[in-house]
Amino acid sequence: MVFSRDAKSAALLAVALVVLPLATSEFTAYQIALYLIYGIAAQGVAVCWGRLGFLPLGHALFFGLGAYLFGGGLKAAEDDALWYAALPLAVAAPALLAYVIARLVFARSSRSGPYFSLITLALTMLGFLAAQQWSSLTGGFNGMANVPDIPGTSRYETLYWLVAACAVVSTLVLAMLAARPIGVIWEAVAQNEERLQLLGYATDRIKANAFAFSALLASLAGALFAAHQGIVTPQAMSFLLSTEFVIWAAVGGKASALGPLLGATVVGYASAELREQFLYWEVVVAAVFIAVVLFLPHGVAGLLKRKADARHAKDVPAPAAPGDGAAAGPVSLALDGVQTGQAGVTILDGLSLSLRGPGIRCVIGPNGAGKTSSFNVITGRLPLLGGGVRLNDHDIGGWAAWRVARRGIGRKMQVPSVFPDLTVRENLGLAVWAGRASGLDTLRLSALGWHTPLLDDILKEFEALQARLDARAGTLAQGHRQALELAMTLLPEPRLVLLDEPCAGLSPAETHQMIDAIKSLVHQIGAAALLIEHDITAVDAMGGDVYVLHQGRLLAKGSLAEIQGSAEVRAVYAGGRK
């Protein structure tokens, strides 16, 4: 088994934490335990910020809730030992609350990152006020005092070992997740959420699950904090503490499992020492933070990680593509009087077209005719303001992009849309997992090696991709990015494929290769394809019916010869050739 750098770091962390109490005093170990607790909470911030690209500003809410609930449970257990059974709920309840919050926010707008940050900030402020005012439960300003030790531990002696064990386990778990398909999916959310949705991933749910997991880490840290301090005050739920979690994650390295622990321990311990010796210690801490942001974008942990770990496994056959929904029977698509627009401007004005059965059809028309917009309406990227969209006699009008994709529609964008900081292999993996991988599959290393006969054929068609499987997708030339996105569009084996100018930016030789690949691969999966193209040579090579759009409506339909012979079409569109 190949271990990632973060997993090796977790092993080194375990060794260091075992040596620490032996090399220092018990009081130093007690202090370090506090910063490790803060580091676990900062790891939760880093999961969302460093992995998925959205910044939570209110993790102190879950830290404080975990502290109050766990501390209250320990106090209640002194009189009734049955309360010990409820202690795990003290850690799980804040995570459940986090999931509900994230689902409510991201279900409305999956790309509401800045708004989400402000919402978590506001909720933390409310939690702080509630902790101050609800004195009958929290002790108010004076806090919940006399929290007993966790059974079997001593606050100033053996609790350190429990905290250290939790820090090592949390680091190891985060490292293992990052090295598995779920880690690839998390990074894909941050890099190109829209592309991920077009592959069929419900990114709002992915982010909600990740946020709940991050809150679980924060509430676990809060529970340890209550036992460590013996008192919980409203400051454990303050915005100031939330800000410190963010700072520690940034300084240590938000993309690293170990980084937040380093940030919290180094900055926290150094701040404690400076506080005793230097009047303006906050200025020093602020200067360090600014320097790290400017010169160490990956934090202190970035100095220890020279290159990303390769994520792949032995090739194993992937499960078959889903065979329900749109895959049942001959594919058909019908747009009936479709209307859409933005900012009061009409884009599609009663567009009606239909197709049935496999094969390639081309969509042509002048710029602004509504070609790309028709694809956007089908895939949920533009609102359906009138008319209907039916796939295999099922109404899909107004559906979210990920639901449309799961129904059996694949979409290639006009400008090649890939995940630039992921490798070619990982980009292809995301497409192979789409519709095939269950939640448990995304946690298995073996899924990194999934391949299908179609993937093998694609790599034969595009040998350049085969040669650069471990290269970052963002480093590929235009033609190779076009090939990669086409591969990603086809690998889920959709029944309807929407290809928006797949030959744009290609040389004549690359265009010829792309045309042959599209014809071969679309035929292989038995799909229907709609292809937007301005190059009449490519349209002729594709064959099949041609749809001509003009001013948001269908102007003509027929063979290319019939279209070229139409005076009505020639009046508005001449086409082009490479």
Task: Check whether 323 has a pLDDT greater than 80.
Answer: no
Q: How confident is the model at residue 324 (pLDDT cuts 50, 70, 90)?
A: very low
| 540-573 tens-digit pLDDT | 999 889 999 999 999 999 999 999 898 999 888 7
Supply 337's token pair. 């009087």
| 283-320 tens-digit pLDDT | 877 787 788 778 877 787 777 655 556 677 788 888 88
Q: Which helix (H) or strand (E) holds 558?
A: strand 553-558
Write down the pTM of the prediction: 0.92
3-class SS at 557?
strand
Question: How many CB atoms sit inside 10 A of residue 3's CB?
Answer: 15
Rounded CA-CA distance 136/453 in Å is 65
Among 99-113, 173-187, 241-255, 297-311, name the one with the lowest average pLDDT. Answer: 297-311
Question: How many CB atoms sit inside 10 A of residue 309's CB?
Answer: 16
Task: Check whether 574 has a pLDDT greater than 80.
Answer: no
Supply 147's token pair. 């929290």
Residue 342: its pLDDT value, please? 86
Q: Output 84 or 109, whichever has higher pLDDT.
A: 84
Question: How many CB atoms sit inside 10 A of residue 172's CB?
Answer: 20
Residue 307: its pLDDT value, please? 56
Helix and strand numbers, DSSP H then E, in the chain = 23, 12
Supply 335's token pair. 């747009």
Which domains does the chain possess?
Answer: 5-302 (1.10.3470), 331-570 (3.40.50.300)
Question: Of all residues in the chain, what percent carry a pLDDT higher than 90?
Answer: 69
b/e burial code for range 403-429 (CB count within 10 A of at least 16 → b): bbbbbbbbbbbeebbbbebbbbbbbbb
Considering only CA atoms, which of 348, 347, 329 is closest in space to residue 338?
Answer: 348
Phi, psi of 418 (to 5 degrees): -130, -175
Rounded CA-CA distance 37/268 in Å is 11
| 334-351 tens-digit pLDDT | 999 999 988 888 999 999
Phi, psi of 527 (to 5 degrees): -95, 165
Rounded CA-CA distance 197/405 in Å is 8
Rounded CA-CA distance 439/437 in Å is 7
Average pLDDT over residues 247-275: 86
End-to-end CA distance of the chain: 51
| 187-232 tens-digit pLDDT | 999 999 999 999 999 999 999 999 999 999 999 999 999 999 999 9
b/e burial code for range 251-268 (CB count within 10 A of at least 16 → b): bbbbbbbbbbbbbbbbbb
Residues 6+ away with beta carbon under 8 Å from 405: 197, 198, 199, 200, 379, 411, 434, 435, 492, 494
Residue 326: its pLDDT value, please? 41
Residue 1: its pLDDT value, please? 41
Q: How confident is the model at residue 268 (pLDDT cuts 50, 70, 90)?
A: confident
Average predicted confidence (pLDDT) for the chain: 90
| 493-511 tens-digit pLDDT | 999 999 999 998 888 999 9
Q: Are strands 394-395 and 409-412 parallel, antiparallel or unpaired?
A: unpaired
Angle at 10 between CA 7 and CA 11, to 5 degrees: 95
| 129-180 tens-digit pLDDT | 999 999 888 889 999 999 999 999 999 989 999 999 999 999 999 999 999 9
Residue 411: its pLDDT value, please? 96
Q: How confident is the model at residue 2 (pLDDT cuts 50, 70, 90)?
A: very low
Residues 6+ away with beta carbon under 8 Å from 504: 414, 415, 482
Q: Which helix (H) or strand (E) holds 352?
A: strand 345-356
